[in-house]
A and B are shown apart, each in its own frame.
Chain A
Amino acid sequence: MTERIRHSRQSAIRLFAREYYESSLPDGGEGEFDPVFIITKLGAKVNRMLVAGVIEGLERRDTERGPMYQGSVRDPTGRHMWSVGSFQPELHSEMEELLARFESGDRFLMTCVGKSNHYQTEDGGFFVRMRLEDHAIIDRAAYAAWLIDAADHTMRRIDAWSKAKECADASPDSLREAGVPEDLHDGLLLALGHYPDWDPESYKVGVLQALSAAEGRFVSFDEDEADSTPEVAAAPQAEASGDSEEGAADIPETVLSLIKEKAGEDGLDYNSIVQGCAQRGINDEAAIENAIDKLRDVDCEIIEARFGWFKPLSN
């Protein structure tokens, strides 16, 4: 038998979409059996990854070698693009089922395990993707657990990155001394050498968004509404309509129970929701819209089956 280095299985890195798609450094793959990694700015060495989010796109493309599938899931920081190749026929029947669900307007949360890959365009653009190995449809609790897990790992990397930045020389010894976990040494040394100076604050913002989403708290990141968190947005209205603050906080609950109660085959339309809320003493349309957005994008309790029509997320 010829001598061959045995590569143990690569662990699945937990990371948000933004950290992944902002990467531009591949590493490894020199030998036939060497794993290829994508090195993120925070030094994660991504070969296998575990991601999650609400499904945002899925389409089949027919190629000379057979069909392939491209899809994406959205997490609080952006989209994870993934694909199933024509050379993965074992996944095709599941993809067809998923595609039928997606095309019928159904939206759901997914967890995806896959391998990193990348391609470069002729003009030098570098894009990363993920080749799907396995997937499952998950519920909100499992999604929240993933958000927390990914937030934890992201913070761990930010912490390690900050410690590494403080090191005078980039060597494994000094990283060890600075308290950087062993599994991040390689990736951090590569990342520090490749990426120009940058501020990881924006990744921390992603963590905050994810944690808020996991808690079901609505943190507004609208560009033009710096003060549109529900507390702020709802409070003046509560005063105006004489409602208590608790009453204002119940808007999402009211909207959700309305939709669950009244949604037909196509769901419940926007005007009916606003009317229903008015009957229950809620007149602030902006707050209702916020509540709908929250239920759809943050809580993932409802889906917008077609524009302006809402129904509960089937699960």
Chain B
Amino acid sequence: MTDADEYSVEIAAVKEAVPDVDDERVAEEFRRYRDEFLIPPRDALRSVVKKFQAEAGLEQTGGSASLPSRRASKKAELFKELSSDDSNVTIEVEVVTYTPRIQMVRGEERQIAFGWIEDNPWVEGGERVRWDFKDWGGHAESLVPGSVVRLEGVSVNEWQGKFSINVNQSSRIAILREGGRTVNIAPNEAVDIGRALEMDGFVTITGRVIASRAQSVQRKDGSGTIDMIKGRLADNTGTIGFVSWGEFDHPIGTLLRIEGAAIRRFRDTPELNIGEQTKVEVYHDKGFASLQDLESSSVVNIADLRDGARDVSAVVQIVSWDSRTFTTQDGEEKTVWGGEVIDPSGRCRMTAWDEVEIDISDKPVAVRLENFRVRAWQGSPDITIDNAEQITVLDEIPWEAIDAESHTVEVPFTELIKGNSRRGVTTSANIVSVQVGSGLIKRCTESPCRRVLFDGSCSEHGPQTGENDLRLRMVMDDGICNASLIVGRDPTEAFLSTSLAEVEKQWDAGGGEDFLLALRSKLLGQKVRVRGRTVIDEQGAMMMADSIDVLEIDTDAAVEELRQRWEVFA
């Protein structure tokens, strides 16, 4: 009996999905599944169908293919070799022009670009054919006019007899010869603000002024003041602060093209410097996002606050508000106001250096904050208000009431650890280490020292009996990132259903090691859900828990979710 006979039922099923497939090859595939992978044909059917579907370039249900489809690529030297249905073409061309443009694509504004390319780029003075192209994938950096590039995975478009090339998001571009013809000291191709935020050096952008005010700073040598304008520009992709050292009389709402401005960084935040060499001109584009739209998008969430940011606006709910008075080095009495604020994305501190009385005793209060700056405090971003006028108390809270006590935002572990320090977050990962130093510890009794004693001695205040405390030290890990996890006394007592007094008893009976063993067998490898805050700096990542629980996993649901996500069925 041949393979084809043996698998006739399965082969028929495959042919239903992929009519033109060769029987022998399908049979071979089933044999391979049976002999190499030890999977019976019945169970292998789905995988085999998908494989041949992919090969035939047929639509696969569900989109992203786990079995990659590879349509044969066509290599061409000249445009004339191409026909209108070629969709995976490799060709070497010279870029003649490249013009970025915002275009509506399926109701969304997208940055695209068009221009001219010429084939036969290597023969100087040879005959060349010029085609239009459209760049859908934002390849501005590679498609510099004057450069010779190899386009890979581009497609041919024909409309009313005219041919053009589509450079897609998945297309690759290899630069074979840098474009040396256009000499630009400052780049004159405008980039999106979102992109500019990640660049250094000089840029050209088009953006609308959404904040602007005059400021002056004292010269360090006391010889007078320097005037400047500080403000903020926005487009659809983001906002960027700017500072102008010369004249700048563009009111809020003006659309500007700013050519050759330097990007300087203050802490984590880039700022556009408009100097003498920078060209600023009013720009006209009816399609550009309106001031109103941009203003609402410049209102940021707490989760997006970055240390060093300025001119940020936000709406937050105040959770606690208090003032304290202190004496400055000059002997001056000063009052600083501060508290905790939340929004649906998270929680952070807020500090005001001006008198800001807010009464939150009867009902929750939300405020709109304008043009504030962000400083880091204990690793977490802190909203800093310099002037009471920056705060507007709102009539009502713009979101469903958040319970301030339990408010927390669920953040995937890797995202949390790769991001900024945050408060009021919940995340999950596995415990991969339970560390010595978990359990009963002694702390220095000096306030506010509270250091953990090492060998009965504080590194600052010397030997002492110390004060008992309870905490857990572990490592959380999701297979991609990891973080130290510190669980303080209250959450430890809640999690282990124990008390400091009970643990003290256990320790006195010599049970310190048993405590660790029990903790390890309870937690090692287990997935836990932790609520608390993170401190992320050069030293690594640390999570301080307000609560911790072992996650119960619904196996069937988790398996089903995974099968759907990766399209693995058998």
Contacts and interface: CB of A to CB of B under 8 A. Distances in A.
Given A145-B555, A148-B558, A169-B174, A226 B520 contact: no
A136 B568 contact: no
Contacts of A223: 35, 38
A141 B527 CA distance: 11
A211 interface: yes
Contacts of A142: 525-526
A226 B259 CA distance: 70
Contact of B559 (A169, A214, A220): A214
A13 interface: yes
Given A50-B477, A167-B172, A211-B568, A229 B42 contact: yes
Interface string B165-179: 000001010100000
B563 interface: yes
Interface stretch (B322-330, B393-401, B478-486): B478-486
B357 interface: no
B524 interface: yes
| Chain B interface, DSSP helix/strand/loop, else mixed | mixed
Interface stretch (A55-63, A152-160, A277-285): A152-160
Contacts of A208: 39, 568, 570
Contacts of A202: 36-37
Contact of B39 (A141, A158, A177, A221): A221
B525 to A, nearest CB: 3
Nearest to A174: B172
B27 to A, nearest CB: 13
B479 A14 contact: yes
Contacts of B540: 8-9
Query: Is the interface on chain B under 10, 10 to 19, 20 to 34, or 35 or more residues?
Result: 35 or more
A215 to B, nearest CB: 5
Contact of B553 (A11, A52, A141, A181): A141
Interface string A174-185: 100110010100
B480 A183 contact: yes
A159 B66 contact: yes
B66 A144 contact: no
Given A11-B480, A149-B479, A155 B562 contact: yes
A111 interface: yes
Given A134-B433, A212-B570, A232-B42, A168 B174 contact: yes
A103 interface: no
Contacts of B38: 205, 221-223
B475 interface: yes
A214 B555 contact: yes
A12 interface: yes
A239 interface: no
A228 B39 CA distance: 10
Contacts of A84: none
Given A159-B566, A207-B568, A111 B524 contact: yes
A166 to B, nearest CB: 6
Interface in A199-249: 201-202, 204-205, 207-208, 211-212, 214-215, 219-223, 225-229, 232
Contacts, number: 149
B41 A226 contact: yes
B343 interface: no
A5 B520 CA distance: 31
Given A9-B475, A50-B430, A141-B555, A152 B562 contact: yes
A133 interface: yes
B168 to A, nearest CB: 11
A260 B570 CA distance: 32
B483 to A, nearest CB: 9
Given A12-B477, A168-B172, A220 B568 contact: no
Contacts of B67: 162
A211 B526 contact: no
A151 interface: yes
A165 interface: yes
B70 interface: yes
Interface in B461-508: 475, 477-482
B525 A111 contact: yes
A255 interface: no
5 contacts: A50-B430, A134-B520, A166-B70, A205-B37, A211-B559
Closest 4 CB pairs of A and B: A111-B525, A221-B38, A226-B40, A136-B524
Interface of A: 8-14, 48, 50, 52, 111, 113, 133-138, 141-142, 144-146, 148-149, 151-153, 155-156, 158-159, 162-163, 165-169, 174, 177-178, 181, 183, 201-202, 204-205, 207-208, 211-212, 214-215, 219-223, 225-229, 232
Given A9-B540, A204-B66, A219-B570, 9 more contacts: A12-B432, A136-B520, A148-B562, A156-B566, A162-B68, A214-B559, A219-B43, A220-B40, A223-B35
